Amino acid sequence: MNKNIDFESLYNILREISTSLHSGAHVKDILETLVMKSAQMFKAKGALIRILNPKTKHLDLGASYGLSDQYLSKGPAFRKEFVMDLCRQNRVLIIRDILNDPFVQYPKEAWEEGIRMIVDAPITYKDDVIGILRIYFDEPRELSEQELQYLILIAERGAAVIQRAQLLEIQESRYDQLALQTEKLSALGRMAAGIAHEINNPLAGVLLYSTNLLKKAPEEGPFREGLEIIIQETLRCKTIIQDLLEFSRPSEPKAFLTNINKVVVKVLHLLDNEFRLRHIRLEIDLSKLLPEILIDENQIEQILVNLLLNAIQAIEDQGRVTVRTYVTPDRKNVAMEVADTGCGISPENMSKIFEPFFSTKPKGTGLGLAVTYSIVEKHGGKIYAFSEPKQGTRFIVEFPIPRES
């Protein structure tokens, strides 16, 4: 029986793979199509694709065709180091001695599966290793050099499709997270509007009566101490309610053309005592060539105060805070950067720092960065956070430069 490759079928497979490159197909669907078509084209017993997991460095099964679940349950039939070496060499490997070849980890099970020859092709995209395509034959075959080259071509084309599909799925996941975040913020706004006034009124009463009592209290003693705690915590509750209202109903920026250095200098002057009392060194690097941008000075002050106070609180004993302003390399934005040498943020918390009510501080409200994010978004800007535990944190806030500038 003639089992030479049908090049018309090969052309159709390549065309199908190329078409999926521009479609919205998911990675799983693409992989299943790729292994099925590859096995059919070579008239093979079956095929599989294993994708390199960048986190675990393991080869996870992406898709298979024509192989039993019992055989697949044995795990990878090749070592990770072998795959990496094969990918680096960018060559096809033919395994004919199933029972004795060192690259077959389960020779007995492979033989019982009816496998008599294996062909491996690396899947790489540019310089990145993605995985491996393995085709199983039920009898030994001679493959021409042209057939092997076409197998490499299929693997390369498949790599481009897989890479694109993976990026699309990441983008979809981020979009879903953003939609969920938007829904949560909307619900929070409705809740805040409903309860803020109800809570503010009794709080004002508590604050009024406790302040009056404090004026009549003895200079020393537990009675005065208790009243001071009541006043302190009541003020804290009012601050939380105010932050919640500002977050749920952020006012539109009253923007005017301003040099952002003006705002930075003003805020640093306000917080000068905080830096000196905590023995924190302040380094300032403000660009003298900044164009004016459309910002609400009061709101930008709020952002910078919040970022600087976070930086100060993150530094336990001395340390350094750096404040910079500059024009981004693409000349489209003015950037304001605040970096500290503090305790840093753990990786599991980095994705949550802009969520409302999330805080790692014992007395934090969890609204500071959420309000900051909202203000930056209202200005048409972007905010980025970079941090590692015990390595400090860096926030970059970018505001667009008006086209006229």
Is it the case that residue 146 has pLDDT exceeding 50?
A: yes
**pLDDT-derived band at 1, boundaries 50, 70, 90:** very low
Which amino acid is it at 331? R
Determine if the pTM surpasses 0.75.
no
Specify whether 21 is located in the same domain as 166.
yes
CATH code for the domain in which residue 329 is found: 3.30.565.10
59 and 100 housed in the same domain: yes
Same domain, 87 and 227: no
How many residues appear in the chain? 405
| Domain-located, residue 405 | no
Q: Residue 143 corresponds to which amino acid?
A: L
Instruction: For residue 2, tell me if it sits in a domain.
Output: no
Residues 89, 165, single domain; the answer is yes
Contact criterion met (CB below 8 Å) for 263 and 297: yes
Other beta carbons within 10 Å of 5? 16
CATH code of the domain in which 241 resides = 1.10.287.130
**What 3 state SS string does the chain have?**
CCCCCCHHHHHHHHHHHHHHHCCCCCHHHHHHHHHHHHHHHCCCCEEEEEEECCCCCCEEEEEEECCCHHHHCCCCCCCHHHHHHHHHHCCCEEECCCCCCCCCCCHHHHHHCCCCEEEEEEEEECCEEEEEEEEEECCCCCCCHHHHHHHHHHHHHHHHHHHHHHHHHHHHHHHHHHHHHHHHHHHHHHHHHHHHHHHHHHHHHHHHHHHHHHHHCCCCCHHHHHHHHHHHHHHHHHHHHHHHHHHHCCCCCCCEEECHHHHHHHHHHHCHHHHHHCCCEEEEEECCCCCCEEECHHHHHHHHHHHHHHHHHHCCCCCEEEEEEEECCCCCEEEEEEEECCCCCCHHHHCCCCCCCCCCCCCCCCCHHHHHHHHHHHCCCEEEEEECCCCCEEEEEEEECCCCC
**Quick one: tokens of 126?**
């540019």
**Residue-level pLDDT at 365:** 58
Q: Residue 69: inside a domain, yes or no?
A: yes
Nearest to 64 by CA among 78, 77, 41, 46: 46
CB atoms within 10 A of CB 58: 12
Q: What average pLDDT does the chain have?
A: 80
Q: Judge if 12 and 75 occupy the same domain.
A: yes
Amino acid 139: pLDDT: 93
Per-residue pLDDT at 125: 75
C-alpha closest to that of 11 among 45, 48, 47, 37: 37
Write the single-letter amino acid at 182.
Answer: T
- In whole angstroms, give the CA distance from residue 140 to residue 100: 15
With CA atoms as reference, report the closest residue to 337 among 261, 403, 256, 258. Answer: 261
Segments forming the whole domain that contains residue 123: 7-170
Report residue 389 as tokens.
């535990």
Residue 145 lies in a domain: yes
> Does 275 share its domain with 242?
no
Of 188, 220, 248, the domain-final residue: 248
Residue 1 lies in a domain: no
In this structure, are 212 and 188 located in the same domain?
Answer: yes
Lowest mean pLDDT among 71-80, 137-146, 286-295: 71-80
Gap between the Cα atoms of 361 and 367, Å rounded: 12
Are both 36 and 111 inside the same structural domain?
yes
Is residue 308, in this structure, part of any structural domain at all? yes
Query: Taken in order 344, 345, 350, 356, is the CA torsion positive or negative?
Result: negative
The stretch 135-146 carries a mean pLDDT of 88
Query: How many angstroms separate the Cα of 280 from the Cα of each of 43, 73, 106, 188?
Result: 71, 58, 62, 36
Domain harbouring 67, CATH code:
3.30.450.40
- For tokens 């042209």, name the residue: 146
- Residue 197, pLDDT above cutoff 50: yes
Both 201 and 160 in one domain: the answer is no
Rounded Cα distance between 231 and 205, Å, is 11
Instruction: Clarify whether residues 277 and 394 are in a common domain.
Output: yes
Is residue 134 over pLDDT 80? yes
Q: pLDDT value at position 84?
A: 62
Most confident of 40-54, 158-172, 239-253: 40-54
Residue that finishes a domain, picked among 112, 146, 170: 170
Q: Are residues 81 and 212 in the same domain?
A: no
Kindly report, residue by residue over 66-115, the tens digit of the pLDDT: 999 888 887 665 555 665 666 566 578 888 999 998 878 788 999 999 99
Residue 127 in any domain: the answer is: yes
**For residue range 316-347, what is the model confidence (pLDDT) as tens digits?**
778 999 999 999 998 899 999 999 999 888 88
d(CA 273, CA 279): 10
Last residue of a domain, one of 192, 226, 248: 248
Number of domains in the chain: 3
Per-residue confidence (pLDDT) for residue 2, from 0 to 100: 43
Q: What is the model's pLDDT at position 338?
A: 96
Residue 359 domain flag? yes
Please, are residues 51 and 169 in contact by the beta-carbon 8 Å criterion?
no
Beta-bridge mates of residue 179: none
Torsion-angle region of 26 (φ positive above 0: left; ψ -120 to 50: alpha; else: beta): beta
289 and 353 in one domain?
yes
